[in-house]
Amino acid sequence: MNCLVCRKPFAVPWSPATLLKRDWVCTDCERMLTPLKAGCPRCGHPTADGVTCSDCVRWLALGLDLTVHSLYAYDESGANWLHRYKFGGDVALAHQVQEMLRQTREPRVMYVPIPLSEERLRTRRFNQAEVLAKMIGPTKQVLVKSEVSSQRELGKEERRHRANPFTVHTLPHCDKIVLVDDVYTTGTTLHQAALTLRRAGVEQVSAVCLFRTLNKSKMCPI
Ligand SMILES: [Zn+2]
Ligand SMILES: [Zn+2]
């Protein structure tokens, strides 16, 4: 058996559970990612006893009510994984997270990836959020993103106050839209996208995000 992620051969111990498994990932690769334990019920950030985190309290105070199901901790190995997937173009890595993504699937939902701007899509060649969304369920390109400076190049202040870059392309017929993104850092991107959908008349919006940052100091105070 070869690992889907690193391609190295490895021995698979036999058990009824392994017979049913479709995507084989070796233990070294599996250890690269740390699933988030019960934390903030609105974004997955680790908090004591599942209390709503201070970031979410601030978003709620702004009238922005969005629940984000975050799957993995954005720790050092999570960041390495994402760098390899997103900037290295190693799309096969997504197989590793496929099962976790699938488990979030809900009925009568359209999964809408956070779009890249046209320019960004030309240079990256794929939308990392779209690949993830397709692993969960039906997807549609509902939002369009206008070009803004990369978040990585923006300071905290600029990031917080920049104009909403999202517009609605076409709305699908569905009960609910679930936004899909790769990493939740300040939450600005997902909240702006959700706000755009709500203003266009979508009543039920939530989100699935592969990673949630853990470091409090990186968060955006509002
Ligand atoms: Zn491996
Ligand atoms: Zn939270």
Backbone angles phi, psi at 87, to 5 degrees: -95, -25
Q: What is the pLDDT of residue 163?
A: 83
Ligand index nearest the alpha carbon of residue 92: 1
Element (H, E) at 181: strand 176-184
Of the chain, the percentage scoring pLDDT greater than 70 comes to 86
Least confident of 15-19, 97-101, 203-207: 15-19
Give the mean pLDDT of 111-135: 93
Ligand index nearest the alpha carbon of residue 70: 2
Of the chain, the percentage scoring pLDDT greater than 90 comes to 54
Beta-carbon contacts of residue 20 (< 8 Å; ≥ 6 apart)? none
Ligand index nearest the alpha carbon of residue 219: 2
Q: What is the pLDDT of residue 193?
A: 96
Q: What is the pLDDT of residue 132?
A: 96
Residue with tokens 């909240």: 191
d(CA 194, CA 71) in angstroms, rounded, equals 19
Instruction: Specify the DSSP class assigned to residue 144.
Output: E
User: What is the tens place of the pLDDT at every residue in 166-184?
Assistant: 999 989 888 899 999 999 9
Give the mean pLDDT of 131-147: 94
Element (H, E) at 210: strand 205-213
Rounded to the nearest integer, the mean pLDDT of the chain is 86
CB 25 within 8 A of CB 5: yes
Pairing status of strand 176-184 against strand 205-213? parallel
d(CA 155, CA 161) in angstroms, rounded, equals 10
Ion ligand 1 residues within 5 Å by Cβ: 3, 5-6, 26, 29
Q: What is the pLDDT of residue 221?
A: 40
d(CA 26, CA 117) in angstroms, rounded, equals 35
Could you tell me the pLDDT band of residue 215, with boundaries at 50, 70 and 90? confident
Cα of 33 to ligand 1 centre, how many Å? 12
Could you tell me the pLDDT band of residue 64, with boundaries at 50, 70 and 90? very high
User: What is the tens place of the pLDDT at every residue in 23-63?
Assistant: 678 888 888 899 998 889 999 998 887 899 988 999 999 99
Give the mean pLDDT of 70-98: 90
Query: Which residue from 17, 10, 23 is spatially nearest to 100, judged by alpha carbons?
Result: 23
Cα of 195 to ligand 1 centre, how many Å? 39
Of residues 21 and 34, more confidence is placed in 34
Beta-carbon contacts of residue 197 (< 8 Å; ≥ 6 apart)? 112, 142, 143, 168, 177, 179, 205
- 80: its two tokens: 């390495």
Query: Does the pLDDT at position 211 exceed 90?
Result: yes
User: What is the tens place of the pLDDT at every residue in 155-168?
Assistant: 655 655 568 999 99
pTM above 0.75, yes or no: yes
Could you tell me the pLDDT band of residue 148, with boundaries at 50, 70 and 90? low
Q: What is the pLDDT of residue 218?
A: 47
Ligand index nearest the alpha carbon of residue 65: 2
Element (H, E) at 59: helix 54-61
